[in-house]
Amino acid sequence: MKILSTTQTREADAYTIAHEPILSIDLMERASRTFTSWFVKKFPKSTFEMVSVICGKGNNGGDGLAIARLLEERGYDVAVFILNLTDNETEDFKTNLERVRQLQDLNKVVIKEVSSVEEMPVFGGDEILIDAMLGSGLNRPITGALADILHFLNECENTVVAVDVPTGVFTDMPTVGACIEADYTFAFEFPKLAFLFPENFHYVGDFVCASIGLDQKYIASVDSPYYYITSDIVKRIYKRRDKFAHKGVFGHALLIMGSYGKMGAAILATRACLRAGVGLVTVHVPICGYEVMQTAVPEAMVSLDEDRFIFTKVYDLPKYSTIAIGCGLSTKNRTRNALCYMLKHLNRPTVLDADALNILGQSPDWFEYIPKGSILTPHPKEFERMFGKVYDNFERNELQRRKAQEFGVYIILKGANTCVATPEGVCYFNSTGNPGMGTAGSGDVLTGILAGLLSQEYDPLEACILGVYIHGLAGDIAAEVESEESLTAGDLVNYLGKAFLKLRKL
Ligand SMILES: NC(=O)C1=CN([C@@H]2O[C@H](COP(=O)(O)OP(=O)(O)OC[C@H]3O[C@@H](n4cnc5c(N)ncnc54)[C@H](O)[C@@H]3O)[C@@H](O)[C@H]2O)[C@H](O)CC1
Ligand SMILES: [K+]
């Protein structure tokens, strides 16, 4: 799913109004109905006492008024609070206010105007609050009376659901100023870029998005470097196996991993590579890893280093279809030199993780040796070691895109909403995964999956998208059974099979 900027969304909005054609008030009604359909399922009216909708006077407030009316129609007890902090009212806000006033005249809805925090009501514990104060029209940081009201609301214990954008959050740049802290955000048509960055989680909460029927052809024609990885992208990538296939057609991966005290990383990656469907896997380990590898992963072949404890040399590189290097590798001098030699002599996309990235961070001149189309999988700390400190995630994302373009590689920045940046400067944000996956070895599993997919002749972009999605999906299935707290990297490997089954049914 493409992610549009606020300006582009406004253009898509205007295009839809002109070409569908549809009146803007009817588009607002359609958006509000979409919100309401989700809301009634998520918060059945038996589960709390009342809905209070807090509205600004722009179109976000207009949505709020329409939602208040639609919820009343569905039998909810609704109160509307209109923030009287400006005289600027949009036309669609005014029309919807008229419509709600008719309900007020019938004693079906309560409407109250609020000009300062002192006039805010005391909400009951069972009330749910809908934030329709400001949406994508935010054009300056929130201060003054509105900031006081937001602070007051954030102090309340009530569940807050934001319409389109949590009030105060800038969608396309870092947020400054006061913000509502929503528990849920229902975004129209696309998630906003800011929702995907961890610093905004506090304001956005869990987000969902749904189409409000903006013109899809127009959206397809808009140039945006940002995508959200949804099941339909993944469905198009995933290849079912041919009935007559045998292990020879699923490739032979070489994983160069592990050092004394860090063999677990190699084991996890090797198991994940197998579970991702590789035909054959050879794992290259120092002598100390021989027995443990043979015992822990009997399906893998082992190539032994000359050194007892670390990686120093590997032969026969051309015979493997894919190579992945780095998990638990160490950054000792001889390992560094061996990595440099390998990079200079490899000519196909390679997966680089963990210590391979730390080594590159120490020797930035070596970046140019990385084969084009390779996949680098840093977590934020490794990213910082390679490319330096940044101020916020918008800046980090810019840097990630620039570096991917500069070196002609795919950079997968791991975290909530893991982001894949391509050599073309395009970003794909993952939609699967959960906080339980922030656990030792989780990244090793991803590296194994990526090597497994590359071996099966998914191209690097396909492997990145499918890889991060299935890794997160395995995590989501595992968390449902094991809990986020107890989830281990080994569980990710064990639930990979269930994740593939789910993928097949998408
Ligand atoms: N995406 C769509 O296609 C649709 C979106 N809808 C909804 O419309 C809002 C955007 O509405 P808009 O009127 O442009 O903006 P807002 O309601 O967010 O507010 C505008 C209002 O607020 C003033 N303002 C801006 N910053 C501040 C500030 N810091 N403090 C105080 N006031 C501020 C600004 O000057 C304006 O007067 C979108 O989010 C959706 O909810 C449609 O309903 C359906 C189609
Ligand atoms: K809002």
Tens digits of per-residue pLDDT, 326-351?
999 999 999 999 999 999 999 999 99
Closest ligand relative to 167 C-alpha: 2
Q: How far apart are CA 110 and CA 79, in angstroms?
A: 5
Query: What is the value of ipTM here, to two decimals?
Result: 0.98
Residue 299: how many CB atoms within 10 A of its CB?
Answer: 12
Is the beta carbon of 137 within 6 A of some atom in ligand 1?
yes
Cβ atoms of residues 208 and 440 within 8 Å:
no
* pLDDT attached to residue 506: 87
CB burial of residue 365 (10 Å; 0-12, 13-18, 19+): exposed
- Residues 151 and 118: their CA atoms lie apart, in Å, by 12
In the predicted model, what is the mean pLDDT of residues 208-218? 97
139 is in an annotated binding site: yes
Q: Residue 249: which pLDDT band, with cuts at 50, 70 and 90?
A: confident
Q: Which residue, 59, 43, 45, is CA-closest to 160? A: 43
Q: Is pLDDT above 80 for 484?
A: yes
Helix (H) or strand (E) holding 51: strand 50-55
Measured by CA distance, the residue closest to atom 43 of ligand 1 is 28
User: What pTM value is reported for the model?
Assistant: 0.96
Place 241 in a pLDDT band, splitting at 50, 70 and 90. Answer: confident
Predicted confidence band at 248 (pLDDT cuts at 50, 70, 90)?
A: confident
Q: Is residue 125 very low, low, confident or very high in pLDDT (cuts 50, 70, 90)?
A: confident
> pLDDT grade, residue 315 (50/70/90)?
confident
Does 427 have pLDDT greater than 80?
Answer: yes
What is the enclosing helix (H) or strand (E) of 399?
Answer: helix 393-407
CB-ligand 1 contact for 32 (6 Å cutoff): no
> Which of 55, 59, 130, 180 most suits a substitution to test ligand 1, by most atoms within 8 Å of the C-beta?
59
Which listed ligand is nearest to 143 at the C-alpha?
Answer: 1
pLDDT, residue 49, reads 83
Ligand 1 atom index nearest CA of 214: 3
Give the closest residue (by CA) to ligand 1 atom 25.
138
pLDDT given at position 247: 73
Closest C-alpha residue for ligand 1 atom 31: 142
The mean per-residue pLDDT over the stretch 11-34 comes to 98
The pLDDT tens digits for 78-115 are: 999 999 999 999 999 999 999 999 999 999 999 999 99
Average pLDDT, the chain: 96
Any binding-site annotation on 140? yes
Percent of the chain exceeding pLDDT 70 equals: 100
Residue 47: pLDDT band (50, 70, 90) is confident
128-156 residue pLDDT tens? 999 999 999 999 999 999 999 999 999 99
According to the model, what pLDDT value does residue 481 have? 97
Separation of alpha carbons 429 and 172, rounded Å: 15
Q: Cβ atoms within 10 A of the Cβ of 90, count?
A: 18
